[in-house]
Amino acid sequence: METSEWIEKFVLIVILFLVTLGIAAYLTYFERKVAAWFQDRIGPDRAGPFGILQPLADGGKLFFKEDFIPFAAEKWLFILGPGIAMFTALMTGAVIPWSTDLVLFGQEIALQVADVNIGILFIMGFLSIGVYGIMIGGWASNNKYSLFSAIRASSQMISYELAMGIVVITIVMMSGSLSLRDITNAQHGMNWNVFYQPVAFIVFFVCALAETNRAPFDLPECESELIGGYHTEYGSMKMGFYLFAEYVSLFTSSVVIAVLFFGGYNFPGMDYFEGNTLALLGLGALFLKTFFFVFVFMWIRWTLPRFRFDQLMHLGWKSLIPISLINMLITGIVTAFNEGWF
Amino acid sequence: MTMQSLSNRKKVVSKKEMTFMERIYLPAIFGGMWITFKHLFRKNNTLKYPEETREFAPVYRGQHVLKRDEEGRENCTACGLCAVACPAEAITMVAGERERGEENLYREEKYAEVYEINMLRCIFCGLCEEACPKEAIFLTDRIVPSNFERDGFVYGKDKLVESMDDRIDITKRQHTGKRGVI
């Protein structure tokens, strides 16, 4: 790679990192506001105008808390847990194609950190590693509630990853590529996957809820049974990392949904634009879709009560996996038919 | 033999299988989301407390006041009826005799040298106010502030008797008006 390319990628990574963290911080604020609106309240409004400095106040508070490690905890794993959770949550952003190429200083800059040809596989891989953050943290705490939570989290994430993976296979069949850039380009204009694969979208959405441990699948951290779940023993910024990682993965999974099913940076009427205008509009379109899904995630959280654990397993294994398998089968047959195999 | 229901309100637990529509959850989920969505546009009832305060009911019973009449003389004659009426034994007083030259301070020949209410004992029932024949004590819409010391809650005359510069409005309380303007 040339020096300019190094610089370009480095700048892109730094921007992506900061933007993801900033968005995650403000999602905590947004979540509290949305919850308040759904419950006929106002929400945080004390720190700054409309409370927009609330995330800074929360972060500052977490930094100044005592960084406590329980006596009986496995010290290094206890520290490693939140780190892994944060790392895996942030890594998924690397393969997302944020928009079409941007021309700056006479150079074409791809708004994608790494256009790997197995992009979606990379995301699935990091999703599965993501469970380690919770598992290690829950186990290292040496607390029975944390351990219960870790067991729940791992079984839940493994069960829902299956259905998710099968759904991803159907999408890959549609576009014939594992690269997220190709998957996005195959949905040019309004040719979005959701119109061809509505069932796959619903299954993927439900799985995404379960993978991000959000209501109604927030069993790993249900307050009423497990105190706080895997982060019961955590405090200070380590606790902050876990909470933060949850919002980062909320953001990234919304992006992934937008990319896989809602055309990513494609928008109707995109043929009338070109160059940098198209790139910026595409970026705006992707963010619009993403924030819509973030809102839907929150909407669901403040509407539905938590599942029971057996219902969760029942839904995952006996409903979502058969549905996604049948869906994959039909998609396969139709694809083969279109390709002229019969 | 089954027990006969007396209230006719008992419900038999239903263990019926869920129908297909119920089992796919989605109609119920969308129904629930519609309900929460409607709440987005509803007016909230939040009161931004330190800036806005809720209006007290006219009969609200808060911190007591010992009233003066329109010439600034204390109404209280230390008869002790309030202390007797008090169910919480919160009121205590020492009576004194009015000296010559103190006619502008005390309305009648007898007055309270010491008058103390223990705000920690007081249950704000308003019986002292009801017992008072001289319209001297009233409960107001002021809140007793918090304090770090127990002793700080024993309010003497310095805190209870109103000053003529800053008279306490008790028009909402029951009174006959015989003892001057409020």
Q: pLDDT tens per residue, chain B (182 residues)?
A: 567 778 888 788 888 887 887 777 888 889 999 999 998 888 888 888 888 888 888 788 899 999 988 888 999 999 999 999 999 999 999 999 998 888 889 988 999 999 999 999 999 998 998 898 888 999 988 889 999 999 999 999 999 999 888 888 887 776 666 665 55
Give the A-side interface with B, CB within 8 Å. 36-42, 45, 202, 299-300, 302-304
Write out the DSSP string of B128-173. HHHH-SSS-EEE-SPPPPP-SSSGGGEE-HHHHBPPSSSPPP-TTS
Q: Do B39 and A202 touch (CB under 8 A)?
A: no
B39 falls within a domain: no
Q: Which of B35, B39, B51 to mutate to test the interface with A (most CBs of A within 10 A)?
A: B39
The two tokens of residue A72 are 């009986």
Q: Do A41 and B44 touch (CB under 8 A)?
A: yes
Report the alpha-carbon distance of residue B154 to residue B115 in Å, rounded.
10
Q: Do B40 and A38 touch (CB under 8 A)?
A: yes
**B76: domain CATH number?**
3.30.70.3270
Number of domains making up chain B: 1
For residue A211, what are the CA distances in angstroms to A159, A208, A294, A296, B51?
A: 10, 5, 14, 15, 43
Report the alpha-carbon distance of residue B161 to residue B73 in Å, rounded.
10
pLDDT attached to residue A51: 84
Question: pLDDT by residue for chain A (342 residues), tens digit each?
Answer: 678 778 888 888 898 889 888 888 899 899 999 888 888 888 888 888 888 898 889 888 988 988 888 888 888 888 888 888 889 888 888 888 888 777 777 777 777 777 788 888 888 888 888 888 888 888 888 888 888 888 888 888 888 888 999 999 998 888 888 888 888 888 887 888 888 888 889 899 998 888 888 878 887 777 777 777 788 888 888 888 888 888 888 898 899 999 888 888 888 877 787 778 888 888 888 899 999 999 999 999 888 888 888 888 888 888 889 999 999 999 888 888 888 776
Min CA distance, A285 vs chain B (Å)? 24
For tokens 């023993």, name the residue: A233
B167 falls within a domain: no
- Torsions phi, psi for A212 (to 5 deg): -90, 5
Q: Are B98 and B115 in contact (CB under 8 A)?
A: no
Report the alpha-carbon distance of residue A123 to residue A205 in Å, rounded.
15
B47 falls within a domain: no
Residue B10: count other Cβ atoms within 10 Å of its Cβ.
Answer: 8
Q: Does B28 touch chain A (CB under 8 A)?
A: no
What is the strand order of the sheet B91-97 is part of?
B91-97, B110-118, B154-155
Q: Do B39 and A38 touch (CB under 8 A)?
A: yes
Q: Do A38 and B46 touch (CB under 8 A)?
A: no
- The residues near A296 (Cβ < 8 Å, ≥ 6 apart) are none
pLDDT attached to residue B65: 92
Report the alpha-carbon distance of residue B180 to residue B164 in Å, rounded.
13
Min CA distance, B18 vs chain A (Å)? 13
C-alpha triplet A215, A218, A223: angle, nearest 5°: 110
Nearest CB to A40 within list B33, B44, B48: B44
Query: Which is it for the CA torsion A168, A170, A174, A178, positive or negative?
Result: positive
Q: Which of B38, B46, B47, B52 to mutate to test the interface with A (most CBs of A within 10 A)?
A: B46
B152 falls within a domain: yes
Report the alpha-carbon distance of residue A301 to residue A22 in Å, rounded.
22
- The residues near A241 (Cβ < 8 Å, ≥ 6 apart) are A82, A83, A85, A86
Q: Does B33 touch chain A (CB under 8 A)?
A: yes
For residue A163, what are the CA distances in angstroms to A166, B67, B89?
A: 5, 77, 71
Q: What is the mean pLDDT of chain A?
A: 85
Which residues in chain A touch residue B48, judged by CB atoms under 8 angstroms apart? Answer: 42, 45
Q: Do A39 and B48 touch (CB under 8 A)?
A: no
Q: Are B149 and B112 in contact (CB under 8 A)?
A: no
B106 falls within a domain: yes
Q: Does B38 touch chain A (CB under 8 A)?
A: no
pLDDT attached to residue B181: 53
Q: Does B47 touch chain A (CB under 8 A)?
A: no
For tokens 């999974």, name the residue: A253
Min CA distance, B29 vs chain A (Å)? 7
Task: Sort A280 into a burial class: Cβ within 10 Å, 0-12 / 13-18 / 19+.
Answer: middle
In terms of residues, how long is chain A? 342
Look up the pTM and report it. Answer: 0.78
For residue A255, what are the CA distances in angstroms to A237, A251, A252, B106?
A: 26, 6, 5, 79
B111 falls within a domain: yes
- In terms of residue numbers, what domain contains B147? 64-160
Report the alpha-carbon distance of residue A167 to residue A199 in Å, rounded.
9
Closest-CA residue to A301 (of A188, A221, A225, A227): A221
B3 falls within a domain: no
Report the alpha-carbon distance of residue A282 to residue A96 in Å, rounded.
13
Omega of the bond leading into A322 within 30 degrees of 0 (cis): no
pLDDT attached to residue B50: 83
B147 falls within a domain: yes
For tokens 């195959």, name the residue: A186
